[in-house]
């Protein structure tokens, strides 16, 4: 989704801004642009297309500017085009603005400004921002005041950078419900919507809070609240390594991230299992508190929601508390039954997904105790929740999530075990076994990855299919959902997942010769039933691919064997061949694996 970069300091701005934008390409975007100060005026360069194209345009306009703002746009209001790309200027061309988020009341503001003789060129909501600032500037003649008044009028979400030709020594930034950070260094200050964009320049970051307005000078920062009272903010040291966001010899980020899973699981487990009983930073629940909880919600979007589904069973069986898993976008508008006895867990790799944050706010309002699981330190969701926990998967760049998912399933299992120990779950042997098996996961994933070549002929065989089904029962069903999502995200093949028993209630009508059906069969108790369902599609000519930890007869087209582990942890192993399969199918089709069309890594709009 949209990305923001900014720089002010002693170095040349354009190379820093372009580098930052290219680091944000993974978020998904359709246009890019830059504004710099040039001889007292603002010069804007922008167009539809990739950052490379923007670079070509800038090659024809050499500049030594050392202040600039930049943006990658993912269209929401108005199609991808030069006019709709950011930065946007006001009518007088005095102000230039880039914006992430959505100004929900932009049509009212636009109407008000048009009644005051302002003209609009683009279809975007963003264009009201520089014009409303300009409107207030005319009466106040004070940049900060004009921005604060404009921000007070905006409904919705925004992270903005503003430059003004009357004040060529500063960039002003402001944010609400959309992330923005400022990295500091001796050579200047770096602004970004995401830390990786500028991580090669500094590790010291201010993570801005909602309604912050900041004057950013080359070697000074002034922080204000929306009423323009000076406030103080602290820096955080970011431990991520800049090289961890490079490809390190892998052809694509997605492949690199698939291979990083043993490490990310090891780091997510960390020292949590070292003591007799699990201890988690930031949580100290009591038996009294947990015994009082009568419902657990697990809420998330996309892959993160699949991680919730894959661990519902663990929570229910170990804690004996009913668990409901829901999509954040549905949960927040269905008036869910929540009270003080509800525990609500929110999962988000980025920690910035608008629907997940909205759902979290709702659960909090209704009295639930809220826990956020995120992969990004200081992300919005961790600041909003009562308690937060981190997966330690490292930066995930590819749009299709892989290592974040397995780290989430790992952490959720640990959380369930933590609850079970507090609740004095009677089967201590099972708890011991799960802890042991968690520690074996990284080596078992390594073993699966060593056999990656098994997947390539399958990819070559089915890459031209137009439809694919994924089947699974019990703990394998959420994995079927995740496998199907991976495939459609990066190969554009239509795919659907079904609980294997549901197939005969409709979908089987679609099966004919060579229709690929990918099944996950790992639960010994259910495998004979799933196999019967697979036989039903074999009889109708389907091409069958099975991911299993069992010894099955050779009656199927392809069998991918994975190591055994405890049932609750199998979703961490069985998903790996499906990630690889989606990857190699996408490669076979010659697609851009890391930046699939129409998708965004971090979905900061509803």
Question: How much of the chain is helix, strand and coil, in % rounded to 5?
Answer: 40, 25, 35
For Cα atoms 132, 135, 140, give the angle at the middle one, nearest 5 degrees.
120
Segment near ligand G6P (CB under 6 A), from 88-96, 154-162, 224-232, 595-603?
595-603
- In the list 356, 527, 548, 586, the residue contacting ligand G6P (rule: CB under 6 A) is 356
User: b/e string for 242-261 if b means 16 or more Cβ within 10 A?
Assistant: eeebeeeeeebbbbbbbbbb
Question: What string marks each residue from 224 to 263 as x (binds ligand G6P by CB under 6 A) or -?
Answer: ----------------------------------------
d(CA 364, CA 386): 8
Q: How far is the CB of 306 from ligand G6P (least distance, A)?
A: 8
Q: What does the alpha-carbon distance between residue 502 and residue 522 come to, in Å, rounded to a whole number?
A: 18
Q: Using the rule CB under 6 A, which residue among 16, 338, 603, 605 binds ligand G6P? A: 603
Q: Where are the beta strands (DSSP E) in 137-208?
A: 158-164, 171-176, 181-185, 188-192, 204-207
Q: How far apart are CA 81 and CA 86, in angstroms?
A: 10
- Pick the stretch among 37-45, 58-66, 335-343, 348-356 that binds ligand G6P (CB under 6 A): 348-356
Q: How many residues bind ligand G6P (CB under 6 A)?
A: 15
For the CB of residue 548, give the shortest distance to ligand G6P in the complex, in Å: 26
Q: Is residue 478 a contact point for ligand G6P (CB under 6 A)? A: no
399 in contact with ligand G6P (CB under 6 A): yes
Element (H or E) spanning 51, and its range?
helix 51-59
Considering 2, 151, 164, 319, which one is annotated as catalytic?
A: 2
User: What character string, x for contact with ligand G6P (CB under 6 A) and - otherwise, covers 120-159?
Assistant: ----------------------------------------
Of these, 216, 296, 301, 521, which contacts ligand G6P (CB under 6 A)?
A: 301
Q: Answer positive or negative: Cα dihedral of 437, 439, 440, 441.
A: positive
Cβ(498)–Cβ(470) below 8 Å: yes
Among 302, 394, 483, 571, binds ligand G6P (CB under 6 A): 302
Select from 266-274, 344-352, 509-517, 566-574 the region that touches ligand G6P (CB under 6 A). 344-352
Per CB under 6 A, the list member of 157, 401, 519, 574 interacting with ligand G6P is 401
* Count of other CB atoms within 10 angstroms of residue 529: 15
Residue 599 interacts with ligand G6P (CB under 6 A)? yes
Token couple for 367: 């009295």
CA distance 213 to 222: 8
| 364 vs 385: CA distance, rounded Å | 8
Is 100 one of the binding residues for ligand G6P (CB under 6 A)? no
| Closest to ligand G6P by CB, 356 or 586 | 356
Query: Which of 194/215 has CB closer to ligand G6P?
Result: 194
Q: Select the residue interacting with ligand G6P from 178, 329, 348, 604 (CB under 6 A).
A: 348
**DSSP labels for 470-500?**
EEE-TTHHHHHHHHHHHHHHHH--EEEEEEG
- Chosen residue from 131, 565, 602, 604 binding ligand G6P by CB under 6 A: 602
CA–CA dist 427, 522 (Å, integer): 23
The answer to whether residue 601 is catalytic is yes
Q: Which residue has the tokens 């929540």?
A: 338
Q: How far is the CB of 26 from ligand G6P (least distance, A)?
A: 10
Q: Is 303 in the site for ligand G6P (CB under 6 A)?
A: yes
* Cα angle, residue 289 at apex, residues 288 and 290 outer, rounded to 5°: 95
Determine whether 2 is an active site residue: yes
Q: Closest approach of Cβ 481 to ligand G6P, in Å?
A: 12
Active-site residue list:
2, 601
Footprint of ligand G6P (CB under 6 A): 301-304, 348-350, 353, 356, 399, 401, 599, 601-603
């Amino acid at each position: 989704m949209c990305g923001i970069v900014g720089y002010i300091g002693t170095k040349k701005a354009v190379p820093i801004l372009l580098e930052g934008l290219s680091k944000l390409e993974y978020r998904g975007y359709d246009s890019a642009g830059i504004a710099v100060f040039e001889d007292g005026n603002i010069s804007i360069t922008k167009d539809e297309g990739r950052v490379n194209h923007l670079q070509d345009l800038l090659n024809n306009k050499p500049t030594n500017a050392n202040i600039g703002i930049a943006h990658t746009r993912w269209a929401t209001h108005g199609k991808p085009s030069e006019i709709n790309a950011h930065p946007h200027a006001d009518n007088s061309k005095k102000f230039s603005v880039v914006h992430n988020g959505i100004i929900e009341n932009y049509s009212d503001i636009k109407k008000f400004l048009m009644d005051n003789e302002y003209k609009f060129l683009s279809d975007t909501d963003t264009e009201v921002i520089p014009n409303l600032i300009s409107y207030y500037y005319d009466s106040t003649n004070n940049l900060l005041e004009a921005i604060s008044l404009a921000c007070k009028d905006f409904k919705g979400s925004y992270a903005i950078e503003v430059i003004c030709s009357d004040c060529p020594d500063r960039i002003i930034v402001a944010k609400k419900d959309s992330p923005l950070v400022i990295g500091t260094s001796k050579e200047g200050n770096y602004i970004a919507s995401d830390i990786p964009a500028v991580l090669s320049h500094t590790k010291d970051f201010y993570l801005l809070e909602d309604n912050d307005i900041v004057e950013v000078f080359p070697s000074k920062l002034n922080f204000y609240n929306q009423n323009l009272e000076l406030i103080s903010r602290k820096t955080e040291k970011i431990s991520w390594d800049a090289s961890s966001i490079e490809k390190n010899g892998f052809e694509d980020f997605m492949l690199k991230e698939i291979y990083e899973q043993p490490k990310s699981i090891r780091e997510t487990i960390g020292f949590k299992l070292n003591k007799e009983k699990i201890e988690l930073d930031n949580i100290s629940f009591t038996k009294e508190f947990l015994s009082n909880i009568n419902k657990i919600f697990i809420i998330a979007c996309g892959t993160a929601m699949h991680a919730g589904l894959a661990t519902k069973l663990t929570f229910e069986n170990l804690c004996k508390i009913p668990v409901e898993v829901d999509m954040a976008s549905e949960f927040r508008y269905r008036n869910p039954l929540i009270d003080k006895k509800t525990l609500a867990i929110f999962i988000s790799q980025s920690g910035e997904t608008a629907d997940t944050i909205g759902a979290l706010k709702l659960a909090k309002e209704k009295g639930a105790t809220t826990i956020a699981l995120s992969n990004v330190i200081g992300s919005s969701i961790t600041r909003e929740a009562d308690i937060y926990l981190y997966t330690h998967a490292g930066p995930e760049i590819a749009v299709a999530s892989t290592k974040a998912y397995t780290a989430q399933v790992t952490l959720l299992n640990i959380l369930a075990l933590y609850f079970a120990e507090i609740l004095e779950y009677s089967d201590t042997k099972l708890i011991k076994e799960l802890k042991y098996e968690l520690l074996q996961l990284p080596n078992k994933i390594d073993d699966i990855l060593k056999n990656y070549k098994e997947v390539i002929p399958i990819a070559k065989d089915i890459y031209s299919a137009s439809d694919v089904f994924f089947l699974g029962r019990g703990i394998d069903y959420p994995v079927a959902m995740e496998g199907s999502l991976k495939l459609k995200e990066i190969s554009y093949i239509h795919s659907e997942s079904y609980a294997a028993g549901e197939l005969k209630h409709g979908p089987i009508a679609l099966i004919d010769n060579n229709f690929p059906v990918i099944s996950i069969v790992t639960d010994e108790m259910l495998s004979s039933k799933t196999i019967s369902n697979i036989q039903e599609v074999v009889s109708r000519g389907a091409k069958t691919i099975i991911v299993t930890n069992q010894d099955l007869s050779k009656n199927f087209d392809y069998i991918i064997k994975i190591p055994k582990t405890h049932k609750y942890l199998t979703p961490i192993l069985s998903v790996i061949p499906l990630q690889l399969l989606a990857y190699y199918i996408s490669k076979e089709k010659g697609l851009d694996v890391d930046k699939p069309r129409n998708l965004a890594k971090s979905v900061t709009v509803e």
